[in-house]
Amino acid sequence: MPWNKLPPTSTRLDRRLFGYMAAALVPLAALAFLFSYSDHLRRAEEGHSNFVDYARLIGQSSAKVMARAEGYASALSARDATALTDCGALFESMRGELREAVRLDVSVADRTICTVALRSGRVTVIRPGEADVPEDRVLPVFRENKETGVGIRIGLRPQTLLIAPIEATGANNNVGFALVDDKGLVVASHMADAAENKSFLNLVSSLDLNKETQTSFARSEGNWYVGVATLTGTRYRIVTASRPSETQLEPWLSIAKALLLPLMLLAVVFVVLRYGIQRFLLRYLRHIYATFRRYGSGETGARVGMLATAPPEINILGMTFDMMADRIEHRTKDLETSLSEQRRLTRELHHRIKNTLQMITSLLVMQRRDAKESSEKAVLRVALERVLSISAAYRISYASNEGTDVSIEALVREVVESLREPARVSQGKVRIHVAEMAHLAIDLDRAIPLAFILAELLPPRFDCLQPGETIKVEVRGGDKILILISGASQIEDVLDEFEDETPLRSRLVRAYLSQLSATCTIDGETTRLEMPKASLY
């Protein structure tokens, strides 16, 4: 019986026990939820109580930037007026130490010498009399030397005064920050939550900060907590605001966090009931499953064995598998024995055919040697070449492990070598080149027609070979198998297609090409034999 299909009585008992334990865990789950929820509220309140401190920190950081700008302006105003004519160089030098600066005005005796501004990321020099249209609002810092009359005005980008300290203090997404001037206008603002940004700006605009005399304070405004801190030595203030914790709390997330521990306890109980109490079925099933995997991966000797301590149903399952595996093993051995005998008989048959072809070859060679007439020798040579091509295919097949497949490369080399001797062509006169993609095998039924075709195409070239010439046989692979035969410049080889007068050679080649679904074209001294790859393994 499968492990997940227990008797009805056992199943009802398991469900009842599971129900009792779940009911006992309900009060614990409620208590854990209350503790988690209260802790979440406490941490939220602590987070929002610190947002006024953010305002002070940002105010202090921004005040330091303003102080650095004032110090830089004082240092420049102390220089001689003749050293301040190159405003572009002054601005570049100033930007190296004061990245917040976006504008520089130099004046002498209330007369502006030059102005430099950073517009669209480029430094622009504005000469006296040129139109000056500032792109952005800036925070001005002005210092003047009474003795020389040199005045330096540095414009700072408000947004950089605000964002950089915010990033340094690690303010979260629920807190908004604004830089406000003495008229209550917002010079710069920052709030990561875009949905709350408009409400935050409306809140800042509604505040009447001129009535407040304290440098920093905190209070509630509607559904916002508001904190204000003054930038020391300036007329600007930093305003921070945050929603109360009741509106920021994500209830579903809090409930999920609170219920995490009870749910984990219920999961542990479920695991214990299903996999521990039910007579430790899982370890036996794992052993059987591992045996199945080993057997399926090719380890035919894998067996489950006796499971004496397992439930009877599991033990019977293992024994049934072992019996089935034993029967399959016996059948496999019988099939392997039969297959081995069949292969032996096939190889014996090929061996006898090869010997018979060798005998026929020897008889033709002797008959040709005894022939007196040249025409008789030519006829016997043609017969000999055809028998040699068949014999070459059988020799290559017999040399392979299976005796049924023939390597194309080996077949071409064997046929060329067999046909070279009757034509009395030296080995160096024939060159064979096989491309890397052409190392394929072809079945014996197709190898014999291919050998026949080579036996009809190569001898005419051997006979027309001139001194100093060589014959090249090239085998290429790819989508199709291509055999190129070239050389013997004096050859005038054609394949006659006139039905009434077609010679035997042409008819044989056409028949063999049809068997191979191949094509053969002769262009001058190059013969192109093309076979589809579908005919190959």
Work out the end-to-end distance of the chain between its first and last CA atoms, rounded to an integer number of angstroms.
Answer: 48
Q: What is the pLDDT of residues 16-68, one digit of tens each?
A: 656 666 676 677 667 766 776 676 666 656 655 565 676 677 777 777 888 88
Residue 170's pLDDT band (boundaries 50, 70, 90)?
A: low
- Span 386-409, average pLDDT: 74
Q: Which token pair is 53? A: 């401190």
- Span 284-290, average pLDDT: 83
- pLDDT of the residue at 94: 84
Q: What is the pLDDT of residues 289-330, one digit of tens each?
A: 889 889 888 888 888 988 888 878 888 888 999 999 999 999
Query: Quick check: 475 pLDDT over 60?
Result: yes
In percent, the amount of the chain with pLDDT more than 70 equals 76
Q: Is the entire prediction scored with pTM above 0.85?
A: no
- Span 502-512, average pLDDT: 80
Closest residue by Cα to residue 178 from 155, 154, 203? 203
Q: Which token pair is 335? A: 């099939």
- pLDDT of the residue at 396: 77
- pLDDT of the residue at 277: 54
Angle between the N-to-C axes of helices 504-516 and 444-463, in degrees from 0 to 180, rounded to the nearest 10: 140
Apex 364 CA angle, 362 and 368, nearest 5:
120
Residue 509 CB neighbour total at 10 angstroms = 21
Query: Quick check: 4 pLDDT over 60?
Result: no
DSSP structure string for 428-475: GGEEEEE-GGG--EEEHHHHHHHHHHHHHHHHHHHHTPPTT--EEEEE
DSSP structure string for 272-293: IIIIIITTTHHHHHHHHHHHHH
Query: Quick check: 536 pLDDT over 50?
Result: no
Q: Which token pair is 36? A: 């988690």
Beta strands 471-476; 430-434: pairing state: parallel
Greatest mean pLDDT range, 103-107, 110-114, 370-374, 476-480: 103-107
Query: Quick check: 334 pLDDT over 70?
Result: yes
With beta carbons less than 8 A apart as the criterion, state whether 411 and 447 touch: yes
- pLDDT of the residue at 218: 64
Q: What is the pLDDT of residues 231-256, one digit of tens each?
A: 776 778 888 887 765 544 455 666 67
Residue 537's pLDDT band (boundaries 50, 70, 90)?
A: very low
Residue 429, exposed/middle/buried by CB under 10 A (0-12, 13-18, 19+)? middle
Greatest mean pLDDT range, 26-40, 268-282, 290-304, 337-351: 290-304
With beta carbons less than 8 A apart as the criterion, state whether 450 and 482 touch: no
- pLDDT of the residue at 134: 65
